[in-house]
Chains A and B, each alone.
Chain A
Amino acid sequence: EDKVVQSPLSLVVHEGDTVTLNCSYEVTNFRSLLWYKQEKKAPTFLFMLTSSGIEKKSGRLSSILDKKELFSILNITATQTGDSAVYLCALYSGGGADGLTFGKGTHLIIQP
C-alpha cells in the first residue's frame, strides 16, 4: 500500500523566515509526487515532480525530489502571512483510482 508521511504536522514561524516542509513516501510504482496548497477551501496545485534532483521553482517556493531516498522537500523563502496554509503532498502511482495518495498535510502559520 502506498504511503505518504509529511513532517512536521504543524509549524509556526515569523514573517521573513525560510521554511522547509518534508514529505517521505513508500510506493510500489512511482509515477510522480505533487504538492498542493490548501488555504481555507480547496487545494490548489503547486508542483509536480517526476525526476530526481531537478528543482521546480515558482517565485519564493521551490521543491525537489530524491527518488533514491524517497522524499521531497518544499522550501518557502522570505515567508509572508499569505503563505499560511496547509501544504499537502500527494503521490501518484498510476494504479486503480486516480492513484493519488495524500499525506496528512503540514499546517504552516506565518506570524507577522
Chain B
Amino acid sequence: DIQMTQSPSTLSASVGDRVTITCRASQSISSWLAWYQQKPGKAPKLLIYKASSLESGVPSRFSGSGSGTEFTLTISSLQPDDFATYYCQQYNSYSPLPFGQGTRLEIK
C-alpha cells in the first residue's frame, strides 16, 4: 500500500509569510495528488488536484507542485483565513491509506 507522509506536522507562521508543506509518497504516484484545507468543525475543502491544478474559487496564493514521490503546497502570503490543517491525498491507485497525517498551520 502507498503511504503518504506530510511534514512538518505543525507549522507556526505569521500573516504575510510564505509557507511550504511537503507530502511524500512511499512510491511514485505520478501527479495524482490532491490537497485539502480543513478548519475546526468543518469538512475538508479541496484546494489543489493533479498536484498543481487550482480548484475553482481557491485563491491564487495557493499553489501546488511536484511529481513522483515528493510534492509541496505553498501559500505565497499567509492570510488570517489560512490558519487551518492541511491534508494531502493520493489517488494514483487504490490504497486504503490515501491521506497524509495532516499539517496544522498555526499563528506564530
Partners in one complex: no
